[in-house]
Amino acid sequence: MSKVIRIGTRDSELALWQANTVKKQLEEQGYQTVLVPVKSMGDLVLDKPLHELGITGVFTKTLDVAMLKGEIDIAVHSMKDVPTVLPMGIVQAAVLERGNYMDILAFKNNEEFLAQKDAVIATGSLRRKAQWLNRYPTHTVVDLRGNVQTRAEKLENNNWNGAIFAAAGLERVGLEFENTIGLTWMVPAPAQGAVVVVALENDEFSRKACAELNHKETEICTTLERKFLNVLEGGCTAPIGALANIKDNNVSLKGVLLSVDGKKKIEVEFTSKLGKHENLAEACAERILSRGGKLLMGEIAGALVKPNIFSTKKLTPSQQALFNSNITADSEDFLQISLNRIPRLVLKSPIENVIITSQNAVEAILASSNPDELQFKNIYCVGRRTKKLIESRIGKVTHAENRAKKLADYLVEFMDGSKATYFCSNIRLDELPDLLKENNIELDEIEAYVTKQAPKKVSDSVEGVLFYSPSNVQSYIQENTSNVVAYCIGDTTADEAKKHFSKVKIAKIPTLESVIDLVNKDYK
């Protein structure tokens, strides 16, 4: 026993309590030990919720690296912080007897807010947030990070009704609040209240020393809870709870999965005989997944991943799939389109020259008249897709261009007659109408559809935005900053974007797919 076991630990008061507990128990067994405190990223970055850090094992990774580099022999963790799959070369060496696994609510004044519509509760845990909102859907939950003492101070200094803590953490640092409620209805995090020791797989001396500290009942329960978590493919970034208990030679496991907003909840509980419980976690997880959990996990992943690219037009799943794998794209329609009812008398009359610059105008015409009744002699349009839609639903296109300006130039030189009917929106560019009028071409403008701007605030994580029209740009800029790259479908859209954005890129072909290709080249 001549080797001194170097115990790695975070340097928070709670982590040091846990490490000192392991140190004391090892020394009682006759081993020599020394503590080696370090700071983890989870301790250093306190201005973001844990799920936004994007790192598995945010509290454990630093100690893992120190162990693999030979700077420490073992590491002590709150077991709920440890990823369900350990790094290669590191193994679980012991689980100490579990403490209080319950969540508790520390609150100010009195409990009346629990029955009120409006209340503010603080927690940095998605699991606690989701379960609280499931029970109290009208309450507001705010983020709370930091060590136990820091969180207690924030509760005192903010106008919140209460904050949620792990009971074991409070007990271990000796922190007592005047008013608390045990949240017996809240399913704890897998392995909450347990302390785990990990060691290098090839360090037989340290593993053998730690094995003497292992509490078998706690090991069985926490193994089931963490296996349940692993099968669901969740972590600290998903609202998952699990609790196993052993009683009268039976092992029970309760598991729960919720949506981030708490509106959806799937809960199961199975029991097996002790010794025949090996598949209990898988059975619970599979039941959750079969009752809608698989779909819910996909929704959770989508809700938590921060986009770096945004489209100002709603994308279809097939369009989303065109982005490179390192791109996370989100999309919303920044323009709302409503089709006008065009008088049938207008559409049934013979029209010599028809100008259409968008698919929306085509849809408005078709919604107002049977295609067989249309008497359009010459149809001129802008855009490849508009041309394709016209020829599949109405009739042959006489001539098409990719830009309104180019179409206007063509019409001035080659159009038969000096009069045309233009099916357009209430919001349209002046370029084409002005050029035609300057060249004495009479234009009968018919408002086929209404375009209404629908601005929305996008995530601060967005680095590039896809635009498809000048109106898209105008709508976006109302609620958002211009410190992103503007990816534009064509020159007209780019001209508007250049009024606001310093970085503007234009697709080679005026199609949505070409704009996505433009983005992919920047994110190879």
What residues have CB less than 8 Å from 275, skipping those under 6 apart?
Answer: none
Which residue's entry shows tokens 């998605």? 126
Indicate the angle between helix axes 431-438 and 404-414, nearest 10 degrees: 20
Coil, strand or helix: which one is 107? strand
Q: What is the DSSP string of 125-173?
A: -HHHHHHHHHHSTTSEEE---S-HHHHHHHHHHS--SEEEEEHHHHHHH
Element (H, E) at 421: strand 419-425
By CB neighbour count within 10 A (0-12 exposed, 13-18 middle, 19+ buried), where does 438 fall? exposed
Rounded Cα distance, 74 and 5, in Å = 7
- DSSP-derived secondary structure for 277-302: -TTHHHHHHHHHIIIIIHHHHHHHHH
List the structure tokens of 445.
């403008």
From the candidates 43, 73, 81, 330, give the one annotated as an active-site residue: 81
Structure tokens at 374: 């249309």
Angle between helices 280-288 and 216-231 (to 10 degrees): 30
User: From CA 300, how far away is CA 258, in angstroms rounded?
Assistant: 9
Report the side by side order of strands in the sheet with 351-356.
335-339, 442-453, 419-425, 351-356, 376-382, 399-401
Say what the alpha-carbon torsion angle 486, 492, 496, 499 is, to the nearest 10 degrees.
90
Could you write out the three-class secondary structure of 4-17? EEEEEEECCHHHHH
User: Any idea what DSSP says for residue 327?
Assistant: -
Q: Where are the alpha helices (DSSP H) in 238-355?
A: 280-288, 294-304, 317-320, 344-348
Structure tokens at 418: 């000096």
Could you give the count of Cα atoms lying within 13 Å of 206 in the half-sphere of its Cβ?
Answer: 27
The DSSP symbol for 454 reads: -
> Which residue bears the tokens 């039941």?
287
Our answer to whether residue 81 is catalytic in this structure is yes
Active-site residues: which are they? 81
